[in-house]
Structures are given as C-alpha cells and as structure tokens.
A = this chain, B = another copy of it.
Amino acid sequence: MSPSKIRHLSLSEEIYSRLMRLILDNKYPDGYRMREEKLCAELGVSRTPLREAMIRLDREGILERVPRYGCIIRRLPPSEIAELLECRKMLECLTLREYFNNIDLEAVKSLQLRFEEAIKSGDDELRIEILNTDEALHGLIVSACSNRFLAKQLKDIQMRCRPYRVLRCAEAGDIPSIISERRNILDSVLAAKKEDAVKCMEAHFDASLSYYKADDGSLSS
C-alpha cells in the first residue's frame, strides 16, 4: 500500500494492452501474419507472455489464432462488419431502453454543449469531435448499464467495432445528416423521451450499416 511500491503489471498484461492498441488502431495490414519470434524481438519479451496475450486477444475477437499456423490480423469483410454492427445495434438499443433512466444527464448535457460548439468550427475539427462525441455517448450508455455482464458484452463489442468506426467516418461525406443523427439522439435523451431515443439510435446504426450492406459483394456474382 506504500506509494513507492509500484505494482507493475505482468508482461502478459502489458503485451496484451500494447497489442490490443496496435491492432485496434489498424497498425497492422489486413491478413498480416504475426510471427511469434519476430514480435518477441520487437516487443522485447519471450514467447510465453506473448502467446498468453494472443490467446486472450483471440478470445475477444481482436485477432485470429489458427492452430499450427499462428495469428493473423483480419479485417472483416463488409458483410461481417454489417453483422457485427447489427449485433451491436441490438445490444446497445436494448441497453439504452432498459437502462434509460440511469443515464447521466449532466454528462449528456455537457456533451451536447461541446458538440454544438464544434459544429460551428472547421470541418476537420468537427470530424474529430464527432468521433469523440460518439465515443463519449456510447460510453455513457455502457455506464448507465448496471448489469455488469451486459455492460461487459457491450463494451467488448464496441471495442471490436473500433477499427471500422474510424474509416466509416472518414469516408462519410454527408456531414449535415451525420450531425443531425447525433443531435437527435442527444435531444431525445435530454428530453427523457426513451422510445424516441431508441429510434434515433437505431437510425444512427442503420446509417452506418447502409455502407457495409451496400458494399457487400460476397453474394453478388
């Protein structure tokens, strides 16, 4: 308990966090095969903690472990991104509905203020602020969820969506509709209109979904 006693994490944990961050930030190309020895050299650890980290990341869907082959980083094809987002939409809207009254309205209020402020600023600034707003809003929903099991599942799937979220925003051209999507959600929540908020959230997800559903070429000849 003494402040000087630094509780340093195990190497496994540290490597897990570092790899998680690297992967979620798209530092590795699609299909990248992670060679254990190579990664060990880069990260400065032996294979044991690295493998332990990889097992955890695999269980969380962050990477894919193939027996007798190794770990590969695989970006989901559009159809599977859509599937992932559909799942997140269901979970997140469920949570929003069930735990609507737990939402920290003060936090939403300040979020709204900051968002409205950003809308007045430049385009690039706004794009970044949209990402921040999204992250904060979805985080507030998780925070509102007092069921820890559901909260964890929601958190996990939000994390898995992260690699695709950035791209989605960068490619989206229609700024006004993007703004109103968020604005409607914030307004409904602050007005304590639960079903409206859920509907807006569904629309919000559907907007993202339309990109991936449209792009899905897996079944078209």
List residues of chain A with CB under 8 Å of any chain B CB: 10, 13, 48, 51-52, 55-56, 59-60, 67, 83-84, 86-87, 90-91, 94, 98, 147-150, 153, 157
The residue of chain B having its C-beta at the shortest distance from the C-beta of A67 within the complex is B10
Q: Once the chains are docked, how many angstroms separate the CA of A211 from the CA of B52?
A: 39
The residue of chain B having its C-beta at the shortest distance from the C-beta of A7 within the complex is B67
Instruction: Find out whether the CB atom of A83 lies under 8 angstroms from the CB atom of B52.
Output: no
Cβ-defined partner of A90 (8 Å) among B83, B94, B157: B94
Cβ-defined partner of A55 (8 Å) among B52, B90, B94, B147: B52
Instruction: Find out whether the CB atom of A86 lies under 8 angstroms from the CB atom of B56.
Output: no
Q: Once the chains are docked, how many angstroms separate the CA of A143 from the CA of B56?
A: 26
How many copies of this chain does one complex carry? 2
What are 6 A-B pairs at a CB distance below 8 A? A55-B56, A56-B59, A59-B60, A86-B147, A87-B147, A91-B91
Instruction: Find out whether the CB atom of B87 lies under 8 angstroms from the CB atom of A150.
Output: yes
Minimum CB–CB distance for A37 against chain B, Å = 17
Q: Which B residues are in CB contact (< 8 Å) with A56?
A: 55, 59
Q: Which B residues are in CB contact (< 8 Å) with A59?
A: 56, 59-60
Cβ-defined partner of A83 (8 Å) among B84, B87, B149: B149
The residue of chain B having its C-beta at the shortest distance from the C-beta of A53 within the complex is B55
Instruction: Find out whether the CB atom of A84 lies under 8 angstroms from the CB atom of B149.
Output: yes
Minimum CB–CB distance for A64 against chain B, Å = 14
Q: Which B residues are in CB contact (< 8 Å) with A98?
A: 90
Cβ-defined partner of A48 (8 Å) among B48, B87, B147, B153: B48
Q: Quick one: given A94-B94, A98-B90, are A148 and B55 in contact (CB under 8 Å)?
A: no
